[in-house]
Amino acid sequence: MARLIAVEDLAGPSVLGRGGHAMHVLQILEGLRRLGHDVLFLEYLDGPPSPESARSFQSLVAGWWDPARAALLDLRSGASHAGLPSDAVRAFAAEAGGLLTLAAHYRSDPWPLLEDVRPRLLLEQDPGYTHLWAADDDPADIFGVHDLYFTVGANVGSERSAIPTCGID
- Furthest C-alpha separation in the chain: 47
22-53 b/e (C-beta count within 10 Å ≥ 16 → b):
bebbbebbeebbeeebbbbbbbbbeeebeeeb
Read off the pLDDT of residues 39-94 as tens digits, 9 standing for 90 and up: 999 999 999 999 999 999 999 999 999 999 999 999 988 899 999 999 999 999 99
CB 49 within 8 A of CB 72: yes
Domains detected in the chain = 3-151 (3.40.50)
* Whether the predicted pLDDT of 112 surpasses 80: yes
The number of beta carbons lying within 10 Å of the beta carbon of residue 63 is 8
Q: What's the sign of the alpha-carbon dihedral 140, 145, 148, 149?
A: negative
Question: Which residues neighbour 14 within 8 Å (Cβ) at sequence distance 6 or greater?
Answer: none
Read off the pLDDT of residues 90-108 as tens digits, 9 standing for 90 and up: 999 999 999 999 988 888 8
